[in-house]
Structures are given as C-alpha cells and as structure tokens.
A = this chain, B = another copy of it.
C-alpha cells in the first residue's frame, strides 16, 4: 500500500495528460515477436500470424471485485493480470504473442503507482517474450480497472478446445491445486489483523509458496511446450481459474461426457494441505473450489499413458466416462460425491 499514498516523489497524472502518460508508460516497451508488424502508436496495431491461426482472449479486473490493494502490491497485480490472460491462450494449446492493455485510474493513483503496475506487466511480458502492442489509458471515477486482451498463435491442427474429451480419456492436471486459495486466506487474515491492530506486523513466515501462488501465478507455457515435446495433443483443455470442479464440468458439458475424479490423486502441496487444516478447511474442497491456480486441466487418450505417467509435474486424477454416468469425485474412503460447480460468482453481493 505504502507507495500509493506516500507523498514524497508523487507525480499527479494530470501533469502529464493522456498522451504524455501513454508515451511515458510505453517508452520501455520492447517488441519480441516477428509477427508484430506495428505496435503501440497508431490507430491500431498490426500483426501477422501467417499460415497460423490467431487466438484471442480478454479479461477485465476491477479493484474491490478481483483484487484488494490492501495486500496486493501493484507490481504483482500487473504481473498477474498479464499471466491470467496468457493462461487462456495456453489452455488452447497455443503460444501467446501479443497483449493490449487498457487501464482506468482514479486520481488516487500517482504516476509512480501506475509505473509500478506497468513494471509488473512488462516483467510478465518479458518472461514469456510477449509484445505489448496497444491499449487505452483513461481516468476512472473510482478505483483501478484493468482490461487486457491477449493474442496468440497456433497451427490449426494443434488447437485444443474444451469440447473434445472422449469416453475413456485420462484426466490430467499440471502442478498442484488449492495453493492460490490458501494464499488468499492468509492475506485476508493478515488484513483483518491489520485493520484491528494497525501496528501488528504481518505473520506470513513460512507461507511463501502459497502467497506466491496467489500473488504471482505463472501461465503454464512450459506445459504447452512439454506436451509438444512429448507429441501429445490433449483431446480437451482448460485453465483452472475458478477451481477444478467448475472447470472439469465445463469440459464435460462441452464434450457431452461424464467424469470420475479420485480425491487421492488430486495434487495438493504440503503447505497448502497444512494451512487448510490450520483454517479448519478441507484441503480437497480448497482444490476443487478455490480457483486461481492457473494450472492446466486436460484430457488425453489412454494411449498417451506411458508418455505421461512419469512426468513429475503432471498428475492423472481420473478419467472420462459416459455422460449418463454423471460427474463424480471418489473420496479416499471410496464414497462417490457428485461434483458441483461452486466457482466464484461475479455477481454475488455485487
């Protein structure tokens, strides 16, 4: 928070004006991709994906709805805003290449604050060599609004939709789940402590992994590359933004299939597990409904089993069944629980 409100070195946005601000923020933008013919600075950007197909996805983030600047530093926010968009392109088995960034900013923010936000966005772009090619910068009446559109590319044959899962396919997930949600719980708890006792120091010791899962998620471009290296094309894929339960139901709905997941197979990091227990939460429920892990959930034909079974960062957590068999989680005690979407509802209490 401190950087937003401190007075030393505060530059008002009104001193620069819209064009000045855009020029200032974008002067460090580097272009990495040959497909970017013209970036920022004209009425539109120009890209060419030649014989490849262009993938497009967009996301809007609003202060107080999607993030809380009490505990999310602006640099992390910028980084995450880019990453969650890249993740959508990965979920199509594509390679993200360009982003446009629009921000609405209230006069509560100084130039220095907006620079922090951009620094985080450019750091994320640099990590995966993404070109920032355009955007819009305007004032908002309240809070910070970020809207990002990402373009990516893929050969038509390699694009993976949500709708291709077949009966018998293995259900796989990258990384581990529930960590981002437990990181959020930690941050929310510290915020509550802080609001009660402003002199208290945050107690996040030993919680680095889950805090990072929440504040600095990474798009799994490496998994897209791994699948390519293994010559595996998933039959269906989605990224986990709303939680495993919600996402597997999306795949099943669009593919007209059912699923069977096994609780004991769901990858949960030890720290996530222990922190969930500390909060009297069921770790499996956190993995199912927590969301924001930005891991990839995908299905592959059984023939891919040999190739995938020993990949340390991929877990096989179940299989696709006939639609008539429904959508079930088999618990460790061998009970079948129906899977229901309890993902985040954007309009609850809005």
* A interface residues (Cβ-Cβ under 8 A, vs B): 13-14, 16-18, 21, 37-38, 41-49, 53-60, 62-66, 88-89, 91-92, 94, 98, 100, 102-107, 133-143, 145, 147, 149-152, 154, 156, 159, 161-163, 237-239, 254, 344-350
Contacts and interface: CB of A to CB of B under 8 A. Distances in A.
A95 to B, nearest CB: 12
15 contacts: A17-B347, A18-B347, A46-B56, A48-B54, A49-B49, A56-B134, A57-B100, A60-B103, A60-B104, A60-B145, A62-B138, A62-B140, A65-B138, A142-B143, A149-B149
Given A140-B145, A142-B143, 5 more contacts: A21-B347, A43-B89, A62-B139, A63-B141, A147-B147
B89 A350 contact: no
Given A138-B346, A139-B65, A156-B48, A147 B60 contact: yes
Contact of A347 (B13, B103, B149): B13
A150 B344 CA distance: 28
Contacts of A41: 162, 254
Given A44-B92, A49-B54, A346 B137 contact: yes
A162 B45 CA distance: 12
A136 B45 CA distance: 22
B134 A43 contact: no
A55 B65 contact: no
Nearest to A239: B43
Name the residue in A21, A42, A94, A159 with the highest tally of chain B Cβ atoms < 10 Å from its Cβ: A42
A56 to B, nearest CB: 5
Nearest to A60: B102
A57 B46 CA distance: 9
Contacts of A63: 141
Nearest to A108: B350
Contact of A102 (B147, B152, B159): B147
A60 B138 contact: yes
A141 B346 contact: no
Nearest to A98: B56
Contacts of A62: 104, 138-141, 145
A338 to B, nearest CB: 18
Contacts of A161: 38, 42
A44 B346 contact: no
Contacts of A142: 141-143
Given A88-B44, A89-B44, A59 B102 contact: yes
A36 B111 CA distance: 39
Given A44-B91, A100-B149, A134 B58 contact: yes
A294 to B, nearest CB: 11
A79 to B, nearest CB: 19
Contact of A45 (B13, B55, B140, B163): B55
